[in-house]
Amino acid sequence: MATQFDIDCALMAGRAYLTTRGQKNWFPIPDGWTEFFHIPNPTNSTISGFEAVSFQRGDEIVISFAGTYDKDITGDWVANTGLATGFGSAQLLQAAEYYLQVKAANASNPDARITLTGHSLGGGLAALVGVFFGEEAVTFDQAPFANSAEKNLLTPDVAANLKSDLLLAGYSEADLAGLTNFLQLRDINGGIPNSNLVSNIRVDGEFLSSAPLSLYDPVGTTETVLDHGPYSNPSIDMHSMALLTAFLQSAQSVANSDNPQQTLSEVTKKITNLLGMIFDDSLYAASTDTDTKNLLEHLV
């Protein structure tokens, strides 16, 4: 079962979608956490599509990267394609710089601990920044960007190029010690160093883990798959961060009850048309980039 921290990260991963959502469909900030340093301003989108926000609770800091906005062809979809095929992306450089800025802002606190999170494209960025800099990453429906972490003779060395770009941007070798260590370990051992720091929670059948995208590998060694009842419509619906979060919250809510099997995921197995009803825009579904409240966002 997911931990409370996993659920908090799920809420924070969903919360990163601010500029691409109507305010009524924003995720709540988890209890006990304070939100800070949102890029860009929540009322403006960026040309590259990059969006991030951080959260703090005492010495704990979570950096959340936003995932794909389906209407952003020139930003998010270009980033997805470049990172999945091993050619990198401007969003990766922005994600690394964002991480370094948050880390520098908390340099005076030796006990500060940074965790990365995100959904979809955001989960892929969190995984890459995590392995590159040796930080834990809790990801959701993670985009499969392993090609941008591996060393491949047929594509650019994304990690090495990232270090060069960061040095040109004014960061020091000391700032990039984690990335240097990653490159050295990869040269010695191959593969993707620090993969053990990355976990992924995904909904069974969501489209990034379905053919043909399943030909691309995600980053990390730990994966939790959330099962559910039948659903015959496009697998993009199963890619919903709100659905994933509702599954986790429901499992936690009933864990110590008299009916531990009455989780949302189990109920969808018994009421076999429930998922279809949830995603039916003539019933309970609404586009999240409008101010009409979507049922799943209302649940979380």
Signed CA dihedral, 143, 144, 145, 146: sign only: positive
pLDDT in tens, 57-85: 999 999 999 999 888 877 898 999 999 99
pLDDT-based confidence at residue 213 (cuts at 50, 70, 90): confident
| Strand, helix or coil for residue 61 | strand
pLDDT-based confidence at residue 144 (cuts at 50, 70, 90): very high
Among 45-59, 134-148, 154-168, 251-265, the range scoring the smallest mean pLDDT is 251-265
pLDDT score, position 232: 77
Amino acid, res. 288: T
How far apart are alpha carbons 167 and 286 in whole angstroms? 44
How far apart are alpha carbons 15 and 5 in whole angstroms? 15
Mean pLDDT of 28-50: 82
Of all residues in the chain, the percent with pLDDT exceeding 90 is: 83
pLDDT score, position 46: 56
Q: Give strand ranges (E) for 26-135.
A: 34-39, 52-57, 60-65, 113-119
Give me the chain's average pLDDT, please.
Answer: 94
pLDDT in tens, 92-130: 999 999 999 999 999 999 899 999 999 999 999 999 999
Kindly state the tokens that stand for 167: 């040095």
**Is residue 97 within 8 Å of residue 166, measured between CB atoms?**
yes
Signed CA dihedral, 10, 13, 9, 139: sign only: positive
Q: What is the pTM of this model?
A: 0.95
Q: Give strand ranges (E) for the chain.
A: 34-39, 52-57, 60-65, 113-119, 136-140, 198-203, 222-226
- For 70, list phi and psi in degrees, rounded to 5: -60, -20
**pLDDT higher than threshold 80 for residue 260:** no
Signed CA dihedral, 285, 291, 293, 296: sign only: positive
pLDDT score, position 79: 92
Mean pLDDT of 211-233: 92
For β-strands 52-57 and 34-39, DSSP reports them as antiparallel
Q: How many CA atoms lie within 13 A of 73 on its CB side?
A: 0
pLDDT in tens, 159-212: 999 999 999 999 999 999 999 999 999 999 999 999 999 999 999 999 999 888
